[in-house]
Chains A and B, each alone.
Chain A
Amino acid sequence: MSAATTTDAQVSFRRPSGVRTTKNAIATVYVFLATALAVIPLAWVLYTVISKGIRLVLTQEWWLQSQRGITPRREGGGAYHAIVGTVEMALICAAIAVPIGILGAIFLIEYAKGTKVARAVSFTVDILSGIPSIVAALFIYALFITIFGLGRSAVAVSLALVLLMLPVVLRSTEEMLKLVPNELREASYALGVPKWKTILRVVIPTAFAGIMTGIMLGLARVMGETAPLLILVSYAVGINFSPTSDTMGALPTMINSGRDQAPQLPGYERVWAAALTLILISMLLNLLARFIARASKLKEK
């Protein structure tokens, strides 16, 4: 009896057949290989950009000087003008996109939850988040430059970026508002606090960390966009603070305008240094977003 159990009893605890074990092993190897393959590009891109750009980024003038009067054959100059442009356009964009995004999320969750209108709005937000940046840029070009007759300007770029940042802010705010416990709202109503004050004083502060995460991610996305810059503003090598002028520097266009140079020229190294600066800003915003999300009191179930 005891000897026979391993071979022909009703219950068999044999190892799975050879084919099944092999398939399982192949699947295991495959998923780990895929994961390794997915991590390689990031490491490779970071290595390339850091090794080619770190020397200039570590110098002081890179952060304090512009490219005015610097030709590709000359050493020197910095990315100050481009950093100013990138940050300024992103901030103008955020000033428009953040209020609309948060209000839109409040509409979806606090006022129109479960209605057909909410479904329609939510659907268009999905469409908006899939709009290519070049289409957003063409739309602003069509509206402001062809129809309104205004010239190219940094503000036009900011407006095109609004279309790209809006869905990011709205979606993350919406997710956070969903997580705010209903008991908090009810407690506030029971004390006679009007709904709008409840939203502003109770709901939004509770979801604040999540909303900040969305804003950071949105900023990181729009700062790296190139297509609207190509269509809506000209690249300037000098420092320019005015958002209404038709030329302004930005890190993506700084990379784009210098990328055709011969690799031996000093100007080519500046392209990679600009790329490293852009990655640094973008990664910093992403890490900050994650840090805020982790510190948040609201946790997803």
Chain B
Amino acid sequence: MAVTDTDATERVEPQPAAALDPSLSPAAGHVEHMHTPVPKVIHHAAAAPATIDQVDRAPRGVKLAKISRTGDRVFRALATTAGLSIVLLVLFVGIFLLALALPSLRADQDNFFTSRNWTVSGADLAFGIAGLLWTTVLSSVLAMAIAVPIAVGVALCLTQYLHKRASGPVSFVVDLLAAVPSIIFGLWGLTVLGPFLAPAAVWLTSKIGWIPLFSENVDPKGSVFVAAVVLAIMILPIVSAISRDVFAQTPRDHIEAALSLGATRWEVIRTAVLPYGRSGVISASMLGLGRALGETIAVMIILTTPAPSSPFSPSIFAGGETFASKIANNAAEFDSPSKTGAYIAAGLVLFVVTFAVNAMARIIAERGGAKS
């Protein structure tokens, strides 16, 4: 009998340390309804009309095992450090890139944002990012324009058309596309896809070459067009995976309501599935865009680098250099700080642009999530 009694007391009695400081209690912040004071008060109410504080300090005759809280403090500190170090890491990336780019930016004799010039060797620095920005944005936006409609189609097919047994393997295959390293896409794009798409590029130029975007077929194999198609293939699994998850969460009620009104399958998608998943799809597209903007090696392998003095061509069938491919192409020549600083400045712009795009994707996703 006595054993059971002590047992019961021990179970009810909270840890002294934990009782004094609720934040030390393992249950703190986890379960709101599990107030520790409740059993405490009941237990001691009959024994002595003392204040709760006094009772806590003197657990009269009940022997409690001492549980060390050192482990908790250390572990909590470790986890917090890890969490905060990630914030610091991202801050550092911005700060260090800016710090190293500033001297070169000050010495820059051209306008950094409007010049297409890139003279970084020697004493006189004259460089600007206009050309890089154009090729980067053109290839990424084109890639998004190709990938998003297909990815949405894939996501709809997997969630609304195919039976679960068939959609599993198909989505597995589409996801596996993301497992192919980008350098292999680059190699394949240059040697296989480029020659394959060349006739289409020639044909397009001959038909609608009067539009500047499709003019002068400089290099059908190493063009922005081929790079954009390869980028589209690379971002397709990202966009389709997120769209798929969002479409799959469409409330069953919405779909059945539409069906009960006699909607065809397409009308169900248009009135229930697409409105529900819109913010998710937009967010996924932004993530894909961010990935395309920063893609390095595939674009570097495919794009033909134009001669430094060649005139600017807005065409998607011309070669060019993106931020990432420019930096990677010249990585072996980082010898003087001023020269390195110019490339770091380009990297900083890329960082800021991808930061903005990813932040936007997150905000859109959160807004959409809050609404539904």
Contacts and interface: CB of A to CB of B under 8 A. Distances in A.
B79 A104 contact: yes
Contact of B174 (A39, A99, A186, A278): A39
B328 A227 contact: yes
Given A130-B290, A132-B294, A196 B74 contact: yes
B181 interface: yes
Residue of B27, B188, B290 most packed against chain A (CB within 10 A): B188
A84 interface: no
A69 interface: no
Given A104-B79, A220-B179, A194 B188 contact: no
B200 interface: no
A231 to B, nearest CB: 4
Interface in B165-212: 170, 172-174, 176-177, 179-185, 187-188, 190-192
A106 interface: yes
A83 interface: no
B90 interface: yes
Interface in A270-284: 271-272, 275, 278-279, 282-283
Contact of A138 (B71, B161, B327): B327
* Prevailing SS type, chain B contact patch: helix
Nearest to B24: A195
Contacts of B52: none
Interface string A184-219: 011011001111111110000000000000000000
Contact of A35 (B85, B157, B297): B157
Contacts of A271: 187
Contact of B75 (A49, A143, A196): A196
A236 interface: no
Interface stretch (A20-28, A57-65, A71-79, A241-249): A20-28
Interface residues of B, number: 102
Interface of B: 15, 26-27, 29-31, 34, 65, 67-69, 71-72, 74-76, 78-87, 89-90, 92-93, 96-97, 99-100, 149-154, 156-158, 160-161, 170, 172-174, 176-177, 179-185, 187-188, 190-192, 233, 236, 240, 262, 264-267, 269, 287, 290-291, 293-297, 301, 323-324, 327-328, 331-332, 334, 337, 340, 343-344, 347, 350-351, 354-355, 357-359, 361-362
